[in-house]
C-alpha cells in the first residue's frame, strides 16, 4: 500500500512499526470506501425527493386543468344561454320548483303551453332564470344538466322513469294536466 510522506518519515525514525502503519492505511481506506455508502443514500434521498416533487407537480397540474375545464364549460354554458334565450312575456306568472323553494317567473300565456309541451325549458343564468328553446335545452343537458331547472320534454325520455318502489310510480298512473296553474 502506498504510504504518505509522514508515515515514511515515522518509519525511518523508528517511531512506528510497519504493521501499525499498514493497519492505519487499511483503516483509512475503509473509511474512504465507507463514505461511498452514505453518498449513495444521499443520492437515493435526492431521487425520492425528485419523484415526490414530480408527483406533486402532476397532481397540481391535474387540479389546475380540471378547474380550467370547469371554467371553460361554465363560460360555454353562459354563452349558449345568452345567445339562445327566449324573451319572456308579461301576461302571467309561472310557478316552478327550484330545489326546495317555489319560485315564479312572468311569462306569456303561449309560453305556458310551450313549457308544458316541452318546447321551452327553464335554465339558470347566474342568479336569474331564463326561457330557452328545446334545442338549447338538449345542448345544455349534455354540457351541464344542473343548469336546467325545468325541462318537461326530458320527463318522457328513457332513463328518467321513476323507480318501481317509489311513490312516483304509484302516482304516475294518474293523469295530471301539464298546464295546471297553481
Q: Report whether pLDDT(39) > 90.
A: no
Average pLDDT, the chain: 82
Alpha-carbon distance of 135 to 83, in angstroms, equals 12
21 and 99 together in one domain: no
Look at residue 163 and tell me whether its pLDDT is greater than 70: no
- Judge whether residue 158 has pLDDT over 50: no
Tally of domains in the chain: 2
My answer on whether 94 and 161 are in the same domain is: yes
In a domain, 13, yes or no: yes
Q: Is residue 68 part of a domain?
A: no
pTM of whole model > 0.85?
no
- Residue 22 has, within 13 A of its CA and on its CB side, a CA count of 4
Residue 145 lies in a domain: yes
What share of the chain has pLDDT > 70, as a percent?
Answer: 86
Residues 30 and 89 in one domain: no
What does the pLDDT read at residue 166? Answer: 67
Q: Is residue 136 part of a domain?
A: yes
169, three cell numbers: 310510480
What integer pLDDT is reported at residue 160 of this predicted model? 47
Q: Which domain holds residue 99?
A: 85-171
Distance CA 88, CA 104 (A): 12
pLDDT score recorded for residue 15: 80
Amino acid at each position: 500500500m502506498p504510504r504518505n510522506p509522514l508515515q515514511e518519515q515515522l518509519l525511518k525514525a523508528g517511531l512506528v512499526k510497519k504493521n501499525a502503519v499498514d493497519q492505519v492505511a487499511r483503516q483509512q481506506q475503509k473509511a474512504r470506501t465507507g463514505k461511498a455508502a452514505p453518498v449513495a443514500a444521499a443520492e437515493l434521498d435526492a431521487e425520492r425527493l425528485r419523484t415526490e416533487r414530480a408527483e406533486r407537480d402532476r397532481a397540481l397540474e391535474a387540479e389546475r386543468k380540471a378547474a380550467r375545464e370547469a371554467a371553460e364549460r361554465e363560460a360555454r354554458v353562459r354563452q349558449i344561454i345568452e345567445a339562445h334565450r327566449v324573451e319572456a312575456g308579461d301576461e302571467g306568472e309561472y310557478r316552478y320548483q327550484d330545489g326546495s323553494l317555489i319560485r315564479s317567473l312572468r311569462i306569456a300565456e303561449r309560453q305556458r303551453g310551450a313549457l308544458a309541451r316541452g318546447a321551452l325549458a327553464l335554465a339558470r343564468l347566474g342568479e336569474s332564470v331564463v326561457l330557452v328553446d328545446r334545442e338549447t335545452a338538449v345542448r345544455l343537458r349534455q354540457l351541464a344538466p344542473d343548469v336546467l331547472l325545468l325541462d318537461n320534454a326530458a320527463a318522457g325520455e328513457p332513463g328518467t322513469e321513476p323507480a318501481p318502489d317509489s311513490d312516483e310510480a304509484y302516482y304516475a298512473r294518474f293523469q295530471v294536466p301539464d298546464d295546471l296553474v297553481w
